[in-house]
Structure 1
Amino acid sequence: MLTGERGHYEIAAGRDAGPYLRALEHFAQGMGLIPEQIWDAANLPARHLHCGGPTGAAVPLLWAHAEYVKLQRSAADGTIFDRIDAAYDRYVAGNRKRHAMEVWKGNRQVPAASAGTLLRIQASSPFLLHWTSDEWQHATDTRSRATGVGIEFVDILLPQQQAPIRFTFLWVEEHRWEGKDYKVDIQTRADTQVRREAYGQHARNVA
């Protein structure tokens, strides 16, 4: 499923979904049955687990087959087959000004983001973000905003500068400081694009 969804992401970004189609085909077992899960660790023969083989979950997973068929159609069309055009026209095709966004959270602590990006720092409980963009010569306190779905966040528009964004948390409900600082380096967009292309090439090589 995730392989097929990533293929659709590549099509939406104007890139080739071929590696993901081939990966799904190579994952298939016997007469072409796509399993629910693929074992992606070292071989464990005693447990009948082999890298690139099924984990013992459902075979076939019809949802995965549907995703594969949809990806084939999307690749042939050059656009997402089940795209909702009204939503696409509103949020993508229009001329709405919006910033690229990078999300930082406890289990996804991004080390860097490009200048001009909206850095969204989020957590599952209310917080006061104590942060600086000039190595603590000056500091700003920003209260988190609630989303109504159990997520609190603060947005920082990253400036064109060399100094990183440093920050820590005051957990409002507990009246407790985090006790450590975090850092997000600011990169040029060229640096960020090189990093993303390298990651994309790695993903295609793995697939």
Structure 2
Amino acid sequence: MDDAQSIPGIIPRIAALLADPARAAILWTLIDGTTRPAGELAFAANVSAQSASAHLARLVEGGLLMSQAHGRHRYFRIASAEAASLIESMAVLGVATHTKTSRQPPQPALVRAMPHQFLHARTCYDHLAGELAVQLLDAMLKAKWLEPEAKDFKLTALGREKLVAMGVASPEHGKSRRLYARCCIDLTQRRPHLAGVLGAELLDLFVREAWILRTPRSRVVSVTPKGQQALQQILEA
């Protein structure tokens, strides 16, 4: 392995990709797991189409984005769950660093300015985030569906039984290489919510059962009356 492929070589390469404000804006626009055209990403980053094309090419080459052609247009999305986790973790670190160094009150202005809906429930790549997601993880831990394991979580026998009854596949199904129940620190709540395979499967279940509705071109989700009743049962389990 040469220096460019070694860990000390990889870190500055990825850091350079994330350091540009336009590329950071593009990545954050796609953090909800959507696939978007180059023109929309240029608008989100406030750069010209030509400049956006160059930034997108670098992000694809660097392994942070994937592209797909549809007719004359090219669409982009986050390349992997690992790439999304990196972007979200950088955002969390940025908020934490701001909080420690700022003389302002503990809650950053960035968070105070966010709309209530975004703070309450949104997507974090392929899983649920926000106040609701934090509450759900707390409830699953309190009900012994999950147990802490190192920095993440493991599913208990009771949790397996309850989740299968809800329509969530057991951990053995599919044999994904992703961590099953990963701890993801919520950007706005500063507490863990659930990511990994289980986090993604729960979000799929909530959408499939119409417990939550996605908002077009936004990470915000809304809880339906049916979802309020179903999720309340989990929170009170």
TM-score, normalisation: structure 1: 0.23
Write 1 or 2 for the structure with the bigger share of helix: 2
TM-score normalised by the chain length of structure 2: 0.21
Structure with max Cα Rg: 1
User: Greater strand percent: which structure?
Assistant: 1
